[in-house]
Structure 1
Amino acid sequence: MGERKATVAAEVGLHARPAATFVQTAMTAPMEISVAKLGGGDPVNGKSILQIMALDVRQGETIVIKAEGEGSDEILEQLASIATTP
């Protein structure tokens, strides 16, 4: 299973526009994608805006994004890039 860690840079955290962009990108992938806060909490569906927003990820917190399958490295890089964009 592929995995990327990303520190969220946006002032609003992984909420509103960053969350929507993250989910829209995740939806383009054929595989399941999970997201969790580093150091605790259960992973959530990376394709669900409600679950992503419920994580309550704030600026400066690190998330772990996981995906497995063909093209997972590319989608993980894209999602990590979204999370680290201020």
Structure 2
Amino acid sequence: MKGNTMAERRVTIGWAEGLHARPASIFVRATTAAGVPVTIAKKDGAPVNAASMLAVLSLGAEGGDEVVLTSEADDAEAVLDRLAKLVAEGLEELPETV
């Protein structure tokens, strides 16, 4: 790994129901498809694996809550931009580009 720098995005959840059931599933699938390790945390909370459905559900993140996405991967900036857009806009799938 080249970078060792942590990329971070703070984003407000755009799904009205928060990261529960369907939105959590969309987010976890998108994170897994991105192919880089990403964590998600509620503001001031402990980060969890964003590719784990159980971990994401355990956050209890509601619509309007702020979450923090982080990754140390080489292409983390682009991946986090796409994931942040997905979460902020409550999209049905990960955008190809931002």
Q: Give the structure-2-normalised TM-score.
A: 0.80
Unaligned runs of 5+ in 2: 1-5, 91-98
Residue 80 (structure 1) aligned with residue 84 (structure 2): yes
What is the distance in 2 between the residues matched to 1:59 and 1:30? 26
Counterpart of 1:57 in structure 2 is 61
Counterpart of 1:25 in structure 2 is 30
Residue 46 (structure 1) aligned with residue 50 (structure 2): yes
Percent of pairs with identical residues: 34
Q: Give the structure-1-normalised TM-score.
A: 0.90
Unaligned runs of 5+ in 1: none
- Which is higher, the Rg of structure 1 or of structure 2? 2
Q: CA RMSD in A?
A: 1.2
What is the distance in 2 between the residues matched to 1:79 and 1:19? 12
What is the SS of the residue equivalent to 1:84? Answer: helix
Counterpart of 1:69 in structure 2 is 73
Give the aligned length.
Answer: 85
Larger RCO of the pair (alpha carbons < 8 Å, separation 6+): 1
What is the distance in 1 between the residues matched to 2:75 and 2:15? 26
Query: Residues 12-32 of structure 1, C-alpha deviation per residue, up to 9 Å, x if partnerless?
Result: 101122111111111123332
Counterpart of 2:21 in structure 1 is 16
